[in-house]
Every structure is written in structure tokens, then in C-alpha cells.
Amino acid sequence: MKSLIALFTCALVATDAAQSVDVKQTGTYRRVKAHLDATPAIDTHDHIPPFDLIRGRVETERGRGMTLHSLWQSSYYTWYNPLTAWPKSGKFDDWWQQAKHDFDNARATGFYRYQIPAFSDLYGVDFDTISDEQARTLNDRIFDHYRDRKWIYEVITGRANIELMVMDPNWNRLGFDQLEYPFAVSTVNVTALMRGVHTLDFDPNDSPFRFAAAENLKVDSLDDYIAVVERIMAVGKSKGAVCLKTTTAYERTLDFENVSKERAEKAWGRPRVQSPAEDIKAFQDYVMWRIVELCAKLDLPFQIHTGHARVQGSNPMLLLDMIAANPKTKFILFHGGYPWVGETGAIVTRHKNVWIDSVWLPTISPTMAKRAFQEWLEVMGSNRIMWGADAHHAEGIYAATEVTRRCLAEALAEKVERGEVREEHALRIGRQIMRDNALELFPSLKQKLWKHTGVKMTPAN
């Protein structure tokens, strides 16, 4: 009996020791990570605007430009953490003497840590231990880099090894042919098309009424409005858009009821402020269902923001009735449904017309992202998962891409180390998630691939 107990104890100790090994220190992790790094990635969701519109430029002693403050201010860090405002003096030292203490309580947060690889890999600086002199030099280098749009190409297509990215042009949602970067393709963002009921409800760049006027289309009825929405989608596709996108979950519940046209018409033709909330919701519900049906007609997959930010009403489970009723529409559930990553996986498992996108999840919580990759791969085919960086400047895109590769490499390496997946299969899965699945779901992207040509993409190209 004592010998059996001793053997059992030894087995437990060995198991605990195996589980305590940091997989990042293994050869398996290094090989998987190197494979992911070498895979030209297809980024399914990003927001980098034309060079001159990149967020964060401020007045400095050297003129107007991007600074260290800019990279933090236009990142997700400020969603939940403090950042000292840029001073009226325009002097870096005036800002840094206070701002360097802003990060004290954020060191472990995902929205702080995801930017760290950009500073270490692109600038050779450890931001966790940065000195005043290093910070000043870093600030100057950022300013210099953003004098030339070549920096965007160097970081995104070179250092981050992104071949193509699907862009949500939220600075001009209906300007489908106005993407500055040749490595970018557009989405048709339909958020505003569901938000507004009357011409007064829209920003000019988002206005379907303005679009209708340019296309000589009438908008005298709800049927006319839906026809305009279809035309917007069709024009977007003809201009190269590969999918639809909505961030409606920031504004309202994802519970879209299949209401009648008569019910939806109660809000039609009046500014939103003149209709009760239930009438506005009915109108939005009706438009959403029509858009979903048009996605099938036009063969445009639909990217839907789910989960984080406005958590109330953003559980992807609320979409199930609509998903089930529209089996010919391809739905892509963004952000892994965080915090409902398990529920989102269950949806994909049961519905063959649904894909899952980890975009933003590794930035929010690398721990949850690693868990999600492992869990999803246990309940669905490896061809149903994609990723995106979802950032607003080159450093943010690089950092989010790097964090995603690390999370995926850890998840796959752990499965290999536990004997659950063969290494050659893990390498194939990693390439699928970083690249091949997007090319399969958005086949028109294959015509835009360029890295195999050996040509280095630059602004002049």
C-alpha cells in the first residue's frame, strides 16, 4: 500500500511539474511562433485611416505631429485608464513628468500590455522600465516616423507581415473607393443605415439620403429606403468591399425581432427624437432583417460586433433566432463574443453559416484569448476561426498582431505538448487562422495577393 501511495504521489508531482512548465520556453512554442510570424497574415478588421487623418497629432515644439502621447491616446488604453492631456506648451517634458505616473495601476491590464511589443520590437525600448531620457528619444522618433507615410507600410506589411487587411472606413463609411492603402480592402459599414430613420439623423458621410440623391433614387417610403440600402451594398461590393460590418451593439441590444413592415413604418419619415423608443427599435429590427436577407442575395458575409464595450444586450446568443432563420447568410461573430467565448463557440458548432473572429480579444485579455482558441478548436473545425488587429495606427496594428500570434502560438503549443494535436497539424491550423480561412470566406481577396510576387509595397506603388 505504501509503495502504491508513493507511486501515486510521484505521479502527481510529475504532473504538477509538467503543468508548471512555461510553454513559451519550449522548442514547440518557438517553432509554432516562427511559423505564424512567417505566415503573411490576412487581417480581417482594422481602422487605420488615410495618413493625414491618423488620430492623435498634437502641436509640439517641432510643429504638429504624432508623439508618444498620440500612440497612447489613440489606443484602447484610455478606455479604462488615465492619460494626462497634452500640455498647451507643446513640450514633451511638461507632459511626461506627470504622464509617466499614469501607468502605475495599469501595468497588468490587456489594454496597456498589448502596446508593449510595439515599443520593444519597433523602437528597442522596454516601456515598463523606460527612463526619462529614453522616453524623450522615443517621442522624437515617433514624431520623425510619422513625417513619412512609408512608416505605415514598413510596419504593417513588413514588420507585422500583413499582406491584406479588411478595412472599416469609419471616417467615411460610404467612400468605398477612397482607401489610401493598396493592401486594404473595404467593408460596407451598415451601422448608420439602421440607426437613422430620417435625413436629419445622419452625418453627411453616412447618409443614405445623400447617397440616394447622388444615384437619382427616390426615398419616399420604407420600401424605397430598403432599395437604397440594397443599392449601397451592391455598389460597395462592386467597388471591392468583401463583407458588411455593424457596431450596432454599442448602441442597443442584439435582440432583433422579425417585425412586420407595418410595425416598422410607425417610425418612418420622422426624426428619431419624435418617435417612442419601441417604434425606433421596431424600425431598426426590420431594417436589420432585410440587410441580413440581402447579404445572402449579394453573397456578402456579415461581421457583427458582439460582446465587450456595451455589454448589456450584446450577448451573441441574442442573434440565434435571426441566424437560424437565415441559413444562407454568412455571419461572422466579432471579438469572440467576449466575455461569452464559450457561448459563441456553441453557436458556431450548431450553425454552419457562422464563423468566429478573435479580433480585439487578445488585446482585451490574452489569457481569455488563449483559452478561447483552445476551446473553440475542440468544438468546431479549424476553418471557422479568423483574427483581426482592430487598431488605429501602425504601432497598434503591429502590437495587436504580435499579441494575437503569441496567444495562438501558446494555445497550439500547449495542445502539442499535451499530445492532443500533432505539431504538423498545429502549424496548419495556425496558418488557417492567420490567413487561409479569410481567403476561403472572402475569395475575391485572392486576386489582391501580392507578397508572392516579391514586390515590396511602398506608397509609390
What is the per-residue pLDDT across 95-144, written as a single tens digit (0 to 9) for each? Answer: 999 999 999 999 999 999 999 999 999 999 999 999 999 999 999 999 99
Cross-strand bridge partners of residue 43: 165
State the Cα torsion 10-11-16-21 to the nearest 10°: 100
Partner residues linked to 245 by β-bridges: 189, 303
Neighbours of 316 (CB within 10 A): 29
- Contact between 164 and 441 under an 8 Å Cβ cutoff? The reply is no
Q: What is the pLDDT of residues 83-102, one digit of tens each?
A: 999 999 999 999 999 999 99
What's the confidence (pLDDT) of residue 3? 53
Cα–Cα distance for residue pair 272/287, rounded to 1 Å: 15
| pLDDT for the residue 21 | 85
- How does pLDDT run along the chain (461 residues), one tens digit per residue? 455 444 444 444 444 444 578 999 999 999 999 999 999 999 999 999 999 999 999 999 999 999 999 999 999 999 999 999 999 999 999 999 999 999 999 999 999 999 999 999 999 999 999 999 999 999 999 999 999 999 999 999 999 999 999 999 888 888 877 789 999 999 999 999 998 888 888 988 889 999 999 999 999 999 999 999 999 999 999 999 999 999 999 999 999 999 999 999 999 989 988 999 999 999 999 999 999 999 999 999 999 999 998 999 999 999 999 999 999 999 999 999 999 999 999 999 999 999 999 999 999 999 999 999 999 999 999 999 999 999 999 999 999 999 999 999 999 999 999 999 999 999 999 999 999 999 999 999 999 999 999 888 889 75
Q: Which helix (H) or strand (E) holds 386?
A: strand 385-386
| pTM of the shown model | 0.94
SS3 50: coil
- Which helix (H) or strand (E) segment holds residue 161: the answer is none
Instruction: Count CA atoms closer than 13 A to 367's CA, side-chain side.
Output: 5
| Full set of structural domains in the chain with CATH | 55-145 (no CATH), 169-453 (3.20.20.140)
CA distance 86 to 229: 42
Write down the pLDDT at residue 19.
Answer: 55
Average pLDDT, the chain: 94
Alpha helices for 156-276 (secondary structure H): 191-195, 208-214, 222-238, 261-264
CA–CA distance from 233 to each of 180, 220, 292, 304, 442 (Å)? Answer: 21, 19, 11, 16, 16
How many residues are there in the chain? 461
Closest CA to 35 of 374, 423, 398: 423
Angle (CA) 327 333 335, round 5°? 175
What backbone torsions phi and psi does residue 189 show, to the nearest 5 degrees?
Answer: -85, 115
The span from the CA of 237 to the CA of 231, in Å, is 10
H-assigned helices in 326-389: 341-350, 361-364, 366-379
Q: What is the pLDDT of residue 10?
A: 45
The alpha helices in 357-461, defined as continuous H runs, are 361-364, 366-379, 394-417, 423-431, 437-441
Is residue 364 within 8 Å of 338, Cβ to Cβ? yes
Q: What is the DSSP letter of 326?
A: -
pLDDT score, position 455: 84
